[in-house]
Structure 1
Amino acid sequence: MRTFLRRAGALAGFVALLWVVQGLNWVTGYSFNRAFGLIPRHIGGLDGIVAMPLLHGSFAHLMTNTPPLLVMGGLLAATATRKLLAVNAVVVGLGGGLVWLLGSSAIHIGASGLVFGWFGFLVARGVVDRSPVTLGAALLVGFLYGSILWGVLPGQPGVSWEAHLFGALAGAATAFVVPTHVHAPRLRNMRK
């Protein structure tokens, strides 16, 4: 329980950080997006691989990402093992790296790549691990957010479908590459 509370606190801190960054970004006329957004195939845009999830184009943009971050992040906090940092590093690094290599020439920002990465990971992990817990998490995420898969298709102006697509693919790949089996709590010897 202590581990879950620590992870839930870290998730709440991350989401709070997103809102603080958004406030500062807004105050500066969204200068952070130009300075730290992911710019495909530009050396100066490489830092955007890490910074992209922290930056948003408006408060409405961040508001759209906040509920799925909390729900899927909560499921990760409740079901992931010690590999949670590795999962996030691969999702952000691989997903962002693919956007940098193959994305359209624009400034890519937003946590939706991370949202799609967590979605891909949670669904694929249910298939890979096949424990009741991970299958239940996969079904819940699929039921609540399955319609987001339409976001991997091009066509919406101003939306980085590439971050959505590559985030989902990175998340699914992570489920196969980073073992994160949910284990039953260890039984302890009990004295009567």
Structure 2
Amino acid sequence: MRRALHSASQRLGHAIGFAVGLTLLVWLGFGMQQLTGLTPGIVPRTWQGLIPLPFIFLFHANGQHLLVNSVALVPLATLFALRMQRWTQACALTLVLSISGGLIVWLIGSPGVHLGASLLVFAYLGFLLGGFHATGQHFGTLLWRLLLAGLALYLFWPLLPQLLVMEDGVSWSAHAGGALAGLLWGIRRN
């Protein structure tokens, strides 16, 4: 019992470390963006718009955009990382989700520049909700996945209407693209 508690607390520590490290990286990206004056982002259906796909989550329109995304990113990235066996898996899948979600934005997005960590926020939420699909798993593994998915859904239920928000300055396609990419990868991985 003591060993299991130690292992669980260690896993939680690694997941929190991943989430905090990722969020610090996002803040560093915003800082570099402020220093250079560049605002790279996905520009739908242009070749140049494909370049920032792997790192689109690093760039934000302004400080408020960064802060709002950071508040949601830390807990969702923690829950996401708890699903991984190692932090390297979490890093690799984060890049896959960024690229996959970014490609969806590139295909369906409205004209303009799309950027921000909200793509990852919704990708993580979609990935965790893909846990509801899990079948044929060991009962403990299935229960763990369903618990994480249920917790994510409970905590972030208010975010779901943002999937379809169509207002200036809000990239609904980044929200929807991230969620769809996350859901598909979550179902595939289960």
TM-score by length of 2: 0.83
Given that 2:122 and 2:179 are in contact with CA atoms closer than 8 Å, whether structure 1 keeps it comes out as yes
Give 2:20's aligned residue. 12
In 1, Cα distance between the equivalents of 2:49 and 2:31?
22
Task: Return 5+ residue gaps in structure 2 as ranges.
Answer: 1-6
Deviations 1:45-79 (A, max 9, x none): 11121231100011111110112211011112223
Pick from 29, 38, 51: which aligns with 1:21?
29
Give 2:143's aligned residue. 132
Question: Following TM superposition, by how much is the alpha carbon of 1:119 offset from its aligned partner in structure 2, in angstroms?
Answer: 0.4
2:61 is the alignment partner of 1:57: yes
Structure possessing the higher radius of gyration over alpha carbons: 1
Code of the aligned partner of 1:103? G
- What is the root-mean-square deviation of aligned Cα atoms in Å? 2.0
Question: Following TM superposition, by how much is the alpha carbon of 1:3 offset from its aligned partner in structure 2, in angstroms?
Answer: 5.2
Given that 2:55 and 2:98 are in contact with CA atoms closer than 8 Å, whether structure 1 keeps it comes out as no
In 2, Cα distance between the equivalents of 1:141 and 1:6?
18
Pick from 166, 180, 188: which aligns with 1:169?
180
Give 2:3's aligned residue. none
Given that 2:132 and 2:149 are in contact with CA atoms closer than 8 Å, whether structure 1 keeps it comes out as yes
Question: Following TM superposition, by how much is the alpha carbon of 1:158 offset from its aligned partner in structure 2, in angstroms?
Answer: 0.8
In 2, Cα distance between the equivalents of 1:104 and 1:23?
27
Helix, strand or coil at the partner of 2:13: helix
Given that 1:86 and 1:178 are in contact with CA atoms closer than 8 Å, whether structure 2 keeps it comes out as no
In 2, Cα distance between the equivalents of 1:114 and 1:15?
11
Matches within 5 A, 1:36-185: 36-82=40-86, 83-128=89-134, 131-179=142-190
Question: Following TM superposition, by how much is the alpha carbon of 1:145 offset from its aligned partner in structure 2, in angstroms?
Answer: 0.7
Task: Return 5+ residue gaps in structure 1 as ranges.
Answer: 180-192
Helix, strand or coil at the partner of 1:40: coil
Deviations 1:107-162 (A, max 9, x none): 11100011000001111113325722111111111111112111111422110000
TM-score by length of 1: 0.82
Helix, strand or coil at the partner of 1:57: coil
Give 1:186's aligned residue. none
Code of the aligned partner of 2:167? Q
In 1, Cα distance between the equivalents of 2:106 and 2:80?
26
Q: Which has the higher helix share?
A: 2
Question: Following TM superposition, by how much is the alpha carbon of 1:23 offset from its aligned partner in structure 2, in angstroms?
Answer: 2.3
